[in-house]
Amino acid sequence: MERPTMVSRIILVLNRQCKYRSAMEIIPAIDLKNGRCVRLLQGREEATTEYSSDPVAVAKRWEELGATRIHVVNLDGAFGRASGNLEIVRRIVEEVGTDVQFGGGLRSTADINAAVATSVKKLVLGTIAIENKGLLADCLRTLGPDRIIVALDASNGKVATKGWTEVTQQSVLDVAIEVEDMGVGEILYTDISRDGMMSGPDLATLTLLATRTDLKVIASGGISKREDVLELARLGLKGIAGVIIGKALYEGKIDLQEIVKEVRAC
């Protein structure tokens, strides 16, 4: 038998590493505060870095570089403040061709109806998934499970609500199982301690969620370099449906176009 060349060995390794990951989406984050594109450290409002005064232009740039989905968060809404950010979300939806998922402060029927009116593809619901299961059930019934993502933000394994300002005694896995039983099909998991810190993803909890439930899991928090994304891929877990990247893109630590190509080639 002919001995494999070095090139063929590398191709074999790459195929083994990536064979489960062709559907994993790379999802850029756009966090809105006072109409501007910012990032927070560990969800702390006082630790804000502004990256652009034109979030629509940022969304267009991410689309040009290959994003198929964009994650938009209304930080003002998450902290309980009124803002004009919904108009920005509407413009992003109108001016880019990518799917847009939107969350932040969606805690009432009025909030949800206003978000639906922007024509976003999916709504990301956090606090109400913990505190108002009746409203969550109504959303699943009227909008359909395909339009709902439940955000599970955690501190030391416990779910946090209200813009990460209040920590409950409920574990991430327990809540994930509960919302799955209600009909939710997709969740977004963020380890607050890693968010904006570029310290790598919480592989242990992501593995737990992907193996103990049948949910699609979007990973968020801590992504700092190309290897972090590939490490998620190497888990070989079909439940990991996507990964949100924020600060690492804005600071040039990850090249969106290149990482999208790598994942698509898997």
Q: Where are the beta strands (DSSP E) in the chain?
A: 25-33, 36-41, 44-52, 69-74, 99-103, 122-125, 148-155, 158-161, 166-171, 186-191, 216-220, 240-245
Q: Is the pLDDT of residue 67 over 70?
A: yes
pLDDT at 163: 59
**Neighbour-count burial of 28, counting CB atoms closer than 10 A to its CB (0-12 exposed, 13-18 middle, 19+ buried):** buried
Q: How confident is the model at residue 198 (pLDDT cuts 50, 70, 90)?
A: low
Answer yes or no: 31 catalytic.
yes
The answer as to whether 128 is a domain residue is yes
pLDDT at 108: 93
* CA dist., res. 77 & res. 81, Å (int): 5
The answer as to whether 7 is a domain residue is no
Q: Is the pLDDT of residue 14 over 80?
A: no
The domain that contains 154 carries what CATH number?
3.20.20.70
The answer as to whether 5 is a domain residue is no
Nearest CA-CA partner of 37 in 94, 111, 89:
89
pTM of the shown model:
0.85
State the residue range of the domain holding 70: 21-265
3-state DSSP assignment of residue 130: helix
Helices then strands, each counted (H, E), the chain: 12, 12
Nearest CA-CA partner of 69 in 40, 103, 98, 96:
98
* CA dist., res. 244 & res. 182, Å (int): 25
Q: How many domains does the chain have?
A: 1
Active-site choice (31, 76, 191, 195): 31
The answer as to whether 12 is a domain residue is no
Q: Which two tokens stand for residue 38?
A: 């910012």
Active-site choice (76, 111, 153, 228): 153
How confident is the prediction for the chain on average, in pLDDT? 86
The answer as to whether 1 is a domain residue is no
The answer as to whether 234 is a domain residue is yes
Q: Is the pLDDT of residue 239 over 80?
A: yes
215, 209 contact by CB (below 8 A): yes
The answer as to whether 3 is a domain residue is no
Is the model more confident about 100 or about 49? 100
Answer yes or no: 76 catalytic.
no
The answer as to whether 15 is a domain residue is no
Q: Is the pLDDT of residue 195 over 90?
A: no
